[in-house]
Every structure is written in structure tokens, then in C-alpha cells.
Amino acid sequence: MTLRAPLPAAVPTALRQRRKEARPQELLDAALDLFVEKGFAATRSEEVATRAGVSKGTLYLYYPSKEDLLKEVIRHNVVNQIAEGMEIVRAFEGSASELLAYVLRLWWERVGETRASGILKLMMSEVRNFPEIAQFWIDEVISPAHRMIAGIVERGIDGGEFRPVNVENAVHALIAPLLFLVMNKHSLGACVASARLDPKAVIDAQVDLVLHGLQTAAAKPEALPARPARKAAGSRR
């Protein structure tokens, strides 16, 4: 929670200009962090301003109300996350198993590890107070993401690589651990060091497990080409 010191009296033009243009982004970032950390209602708008290095009044120069700020935070952190993913999926040439493993890991690097992952927690925690956001979220995030994962699973089934499972449920099984990791990162894991999970390990294990579960007997051997499956070893607790 590094609080930036208040602006010195005189700021050179160049810097002022740069800051002005950066303001919206800085405010949105500060707001996202705080909303995720403390919840929307428990975050004071002045805190957001202070963390972004401006005064209370300045925040209201950019966003007309705290609620508008929330909506903008969501809108801003949602765009185009999916489009890019779609492209990657389309271009990928390997097996469905490889693609799934790749996509899940990539998502963690691009979203899970970044500040944007907080949006997930924010939505989980706050949608019920802002139901008009729900549909937007479904249309922009949930549906495209489902379609993308579903496409991969279908590709695997069609190519004989996966068992003919119910696609929708397989999608849930693949998405659930990502959500699990994000929630851990932004709740318990943020409070208690010992509760913190190792995301990459969990994802690898999940990929291993689910692919094992999805694959037909014939496809099994090549299951996880990228990284060797971790054996239980002594860490079993």
C-alpha cells in the first residue's frame, strides 16, 4: 500500500502532461486494486484518489461517481482479453491436449498473474449489487471464454483424442481451478502466507489430471509433452 507523496507545488509541463494523460489509467488501477482488496463498499473514494496520487476532487473530474468508477474499472479490464485468445487457438497447430495446456498456462501468465485477475474476484463479490453489469460480464467474458475452451475440447473429441464427454461440463472442470487460484490469490492467499498456492504447479497438475481424464486410451502416452507430470514424491503431507 505504497502511498505516493502529494504532488510537489510545481510540476514541469512535460510531466504534468504525461500525468494528465495517464490519470484515467492510474485511477482505474488504483480503484481496481482497492475494490479487489477491500470490496467496493468498504473502499473510500478518497483512498482511490490518494493511491493514484491525486486529490479527492480530481477523481470526480474523471468519473462522476464511485459507482461509475466501478463500472469503468470493469469495462476497462475486460476488453479484448478474449479476442487475442481466440486468435491463438485458431492458429495453434498441435494436439488439443497441448493446446489446452498452453491456453491455461498462458491465461495464468496474461491474466491470473496480473492486476486484471482481480476483476474476477470483484465480479464474484459485487455482481449481486450491480445486476446490470451481470449481462455485460456474461456477454463479454463468460460466453466467449466458454466458447473458446469448448472449441478446443470439441476439436479433441472430433479428432479422437478425447473421450466424447459432455463438453460444457468439461469446460467447467477446466475453468474451475483458474477461478480457484484467482480467489485464493485475492482472498486467503493474500492474508496468510502459508495458504498461498503455487499457481503454476496447480495448473500443471490440473492439466495433467484433466487430460488424463479426457484422453482416450490411445492418446494417453503423449499426455503432457511440455512438462513432465509431477510425481507425488514426499510432498504428500
Partner DNA sequence: TATGAATGAGGTTTCATTCAT
Partner DNA sequence: CATGAATGAAACCTCATTCAT
For the CB of residue 129, give the shortest distance to a second copy in the complex, in Å: 6
The answer to whether the CB of 52 falls within 8 A of the CB of 30 is yes
Q: Residue 58: name its binding partner from DNA, a second copy, none (Cβ under 5 to 8 Å by kind).
A: DNA
The answer to whether the CB of 157 falls within 8 A of the CB of 163 is yes
150 binds a second copy (CB under 8 A): yes
Query: Which residue in 123, 140, 155, 224 binds a second copy (CB under 8 A)?
Result: 123
For the CB of residue 218, give the shortest distance to DNA in the complex, in Å: 59
CB under 8 A: which stretch of 49-57, 63-71, 94-102, 176-184 binds a second copy?
Answer: 176-184
Residues at the contact surface with DNA, assessed by CB under 7 A: 6-7, 9-13, 16, 19-20, 23, 43-46, 54-58, 60-62, 64-67
Burial class (CB in 10 A: 0-12, 13-18, 19+), 69: buried
The answer to whether the CB of 189 falls within 8 A of the CB of 195 is yes
Return d(Cα 121, Cα 117) in angstroms, integer.
7
For the CB of residue 38, give the shortest distance to DNA in the complex, in Å: 10
135 binds a second copy (CB under 8 A): yes
Identify the three-state secondary structure at position 215: strand
